[in-house]
Amino acid sequence: MSTSFEMTAAPRSDLGKAATRRLRHSGQVPAVIYGDEKEPASIMMVHDDLMHNLENEAFYSHILSIDVDGKKEDVVLKDLQRHPAKARIMHADFQRVSSKNEMKMHVPLHFVNEDEAPGIKEGGILSRLMTDVEVSCLASALPEFIEIDLAGMEIGDSVQLSQLILPEGVSITALNRGDDHDQAIAAIQKIRAAKDDEVVEAEGGEAAEASADDAGSESSE
């Protein structure tokens, strides 16, 4: 992975509600680091630094380094609690990564060469049915994203989970549950058919109305 994220944090010992409110008012975010068969660690981080990192898509599927009082922890972001009305982070959960045990993470999907797809050139539209996919792998094999090449897709074509090209050591958790979980990720569909049907229906309706008018005129005569 080319992107590197290094953050700093401080231990947090006062966990009461009043202390948490003071913490947030001072521009800090309460957070926790857990996992890898170690005790959870309550920490606090600078809110604006965390928000800045969250603007980068890679931050959500990347191995992060957090320096807690001089001790570095390799983690991944597992959960965020956001304020319901304001652009503020209320709490963050980080999970320690292990060099021995596989982890599950949601990785974004990147669709490329959409403009080169024959189906798009013929007037089709791309339906993105998924924006990310959950994978299972060791931390060292975690991809930043998974790329889907649409260059050869025709109208009516779709891409299934089983067709994704994955790095070595990476598997899709849904497929680990069986072939019946092999879902479509994207499809190119024709959008003009519905419009054509509407035109035909409208023309048919106009013809029917015209016939009814003619019949009415004849009867009145």
Which H or E run contains 25?
A: helix 17-25
pLDDT at residue 204 tops 60: no
Length of the chain: 221
- Integer-rounded Cα radius of gyration of the chain: 27
Half-sphere exposure of 54 (CA within 13 A, CB side): 16
pLDDT, mean over the chain: 87
CB burial of 98-111 (b: ≥16 within 10 Å; e: otherwise) equals eeeeebebebbbeb
Q: Is the pLDDT of residue 19 over 70?
A: yes
Stretch(es) of the chain classified as CATH 2.170.120.20: 103-194
pLDDT at residue 178 in the model: 87
Query: So what's the pLDDT on residue 136?
Result: 95
Chain segment 138-173, per-residue pLDDT in tens = 988 999 899 999 999 999 999 999 999 999 999 999
Question: For the domain 6-96, what is the CATH code?
Answer: 2.40.240.10
60-105 pLDDT tens trace: 989 999 999 999 999 999 999 999 999 999 999 999 998 888 999 9
Question: What pLDDT is recorded for position 206?
Answer: 55
**Mean per-residue pLDDT, 196-215:** 52
Q: Which residues sit opposite 7 in a β-bridge? A: 66
pTM above 0.85, yes or no: no
Q: What is the pLDDT of residue 220?
A: 47
Q: Does domain 103-194 have CATH number 3.40.50.300?
A: no
Cα–Cα distance measured from residue 136 to residue 104, given in angstroms and rounded to the nearest whole number: 5
Kindly tell me if the per-residue pLDDT of 197 is higher than 60: no
d(CA 196, CA 190): 11
The yes-or-no verdict on residue 217 having pLDDT over 90 is: no
Contact of 211 with 146, CB cutoff 8 Å: no
Location of structure tokens 């013929």: 122
What are the backbone angles phi and psi of residue 41, rounded to the nearest 5°?
-120, 120
Q: What's the pLDDT at 37?
A: 87
Give, in degrees to the nearest 5, the angle at Cα 110 between 106 and 113.
165
Instruction: Give the per-residue pLDDT at 219.
Output: 46
Instruction: List every span in the chain annotated with CATH 2.40.240.10.
Output: 6-96
Express each pLDDT in 28-37 by its tens digit.
999 999 998 8
